């Protein structure tokens, strides 16, 4: 599988909700959770969410302020 944001780069993790794959860089930079504000039934077992929870919540708050 290839990374959603970096074509040609091997992906390592999948967002089960959106069925997108992401490379290690996306995971390390916490850009793999692209929809942190909406409900996700996979969140309790999500590797992406566990590693990026703080950053994802921060981005969600920023998005809500803009709207």
Express as a percent the part of the chain with pLDDT over 90.
82
Q: What pLDDT does residue 66 have? A: 80
Residue 4 lies in a domain: no
What is the residue range of 60's domain?
A: 13-66
Q: Compute, in degrees rounded to 10, the torsion defined by CA atoms 54, 60, 64, 67.
A: 140
pLDDT tens-digit readout, 12-30: 999 999 999 999 999 999 9
Instruction: Label residue 9 by pLDDT band (50, 70, 90).
Output: very high
Flag whether pLDDT at 67 surpasses 80.
no
Q: Is residue 5 part of a domain?
A: no
How many domains would you assign to the chain? 1
- Structural domain contains residue 18: yes
Interior angle at CA 7, CA 5 and CA 8, nearest 5: 145
Q: What is the pLDDT of residue 10?
A: 97
């Amino acid at each position: 599988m290839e990374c959603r944001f970096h074509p040609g780069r091997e992906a390592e993790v999948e967002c089960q909700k959106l069925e997108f794959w992401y490379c290690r860089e996306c995971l390390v930079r916490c850009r793999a959770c692209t929809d942190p504000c909406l409900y996700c039934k996979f969140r309790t077992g999500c590797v992406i969410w566990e590693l990026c929870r703080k950053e994802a919540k921060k981005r969600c708050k920023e998005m809500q302020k803009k709207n």
